[in-house]
Amino acid sequence: MRHIQDGSYVAINWNHIEDELDKATWEKLTQQFWLDTRIPISNDLRTWHGELSAQERDVVNRVFGGLTTLDTLQSQDGMAALRADAVNQKEEAVLNNIQFMESVHAKSYSSIFETLNYKAEIEEIFDWANHDKFLQFKANRINDIYQKGTSLQKKVASVFLETFLFYSGFYTPLYYLGHNLMNNVAEVIKLILRDESVHGTYIGYKFQIGFNRLDEEQQGKLQEWMYDLLYELYENEEKYTHELYDGLGWTEDVLTFLRYNANKALMNLGQEPLFPDGAEDVNPVVMNGISTSTANHDFFSAVGNGYLLGEVESMNDEDYQI
Ligand SMILES: [Fe+2]
Ligand SMILES: [Fe+2]
């Protein structure tokens, strides 16, 4: 976007709002600001060593390794790519906020790793993430679109990543939360999920504005591209899910959850769902994990620095739906 008009570098004026949703999103995102360092992850150490099998711990580590890659992509390339197409300065400011929170998300997995694993194990996780064929395929496929795609294609890529691809990873902590296990780790994930829910809605909304300006033929072409991309990503995600979850026997449940979230991604983009799967098809333990209220109601005040950083509301279905 152009910052210079008639030779002047234009100051951002929040008293002149072009689109109310920019302001509303800024307010929501700043209200729900959080940091990984404020969640007592070490409270899960006993469960980690005492209740989870070595195989389960390995799956948790890998899914979080995968999520680290995707949040790194969002923080380093995704939001920068979207920001280049921002239609006003407030949208740029919102994307700045999102970009920083993506760095918080990416870092929070390292906080989890640091608490639960030894150094050599952590190195193994990153080595796995940096070389896993299916994980690398999706990260590179999405990044290609960020680098070479049109403004609308980039928004589709971002929404597919955040509302669809993340969920093969989110499944595991939500499953444990549904069983009342690893609650503090799940708290981190739910804070991430709550952010992603706003990001997906906001970027999906920006997509719809542009999409509605296209003529019918252009819309048809873009829809064809979008559904092809979704299929391609889903096919890869099937392989990724088998690789991660076959050992635990969770694959089919994860795939149902993925299809349900793929439909949500399409809804964010104002498009028709592709898969028949609805909320009622998802493993109720996972849905239960999503709707469980926060484990640490007062963790912000518990840090003892004398001021309340922000009210962290519990995650509820409504947040998840937006
Ligand atoms: Fe994120
Ligand atoms: Fe995001």
Could you tell me if 211 and 219 are in contact, meaning their C-beta atoms sit under 8 angstroms apart? yes
Mean pLDDT over 245-272 rounds to 97
Q: Could you tell me the CA-to-CA distances from 154 to 100, 164, 233, 236 in Å, in that order?
A: 19, 15, 15, 19
pLDDT at 237: 98
User: 319 versus 68: which is more confidently predicted?
Assistant: 68
pLDDT at 311: 39
pLDDT at 316 over 60: no
Q: Token match 């990724």: residue? A: 240
Mean pLDDT of the chain: 91
Ligand nearest to the CA of 203: 2
The rounded Å distance from CA 189 to ligand 1 centre is 10
Please tell me which residue in 9, 109, 231, 234 is annotated as part of the active site: 109
pLDDT at 294 over 60: no
Residues that place a CB less than 5 A from ion ligand 2:
162, 196, 199
State the pLDDT confidence band at 314, using cuts at 50, 70 and 90.
very low
pLDDT at 138 over 60: yes
pLDDT at 289: 79
pLDDT at 276 over 90: yes
pLDDT at 292: 58
Ligand nearest to the CA of 29: 2
State the pLDDT confidence band at 299, using cuts at 50, 70 and 90.
very low
Q: Could you tell me the CA-to-CA distances from 124 to 62, 69, 117, 120, 132 in Å, in that order?
A: 10, 14, 10, 6, 12
pLDDT at 44 over 60: yes
pLDDT at 319: 52
Q: Please confirm, yes or no, whether 109 is among the known catalytic residues.
A: yes
Handedness of CA 265, 270, 274, 277 (dihedral sign): positive
Q: Which phi and psi (to 5°) does residue 255 adopt?
A: -65, -40
Ligand nearest to the CA of 70: 1
Could you tell me if 76 and 160 are in contact, meaning their C-beta atoms sit under 8 angstroms apart? no
State the pLDDT confidence band at 298, using cuts at 50, 70 and 90.
very low
The rounded Å distance from CA 74 to ligand 1 centre is 7
The rounded Å distance from CA 6 to ligand 2 centre is 35
The rounded Å distance from CA 199 to ligand 2 centre is 5
Q: With pLDDT > 90 as the criterion, what percentage of the chain qualifies? A: 86
pLDDT in tens, 221-248: 999 999 999 999 999 999 999 999 999 9
pLDDT at 2: 72
Spatial distance between the Cα atoms of 45 and 48, rounded to a whole number of angstroms: 5
Mean pLDDT over 69-76 rounds to 98
User: 274 versus 3: which is more confidently predicted?
Assistant: 274
Q: With pLDDT > 70 as the criterion, what percentage of the chain qualifies? A: 90
The rounded Å distance from CA 183 to ligand 2 centre is 22
pLDDT at 165 over 50: yes
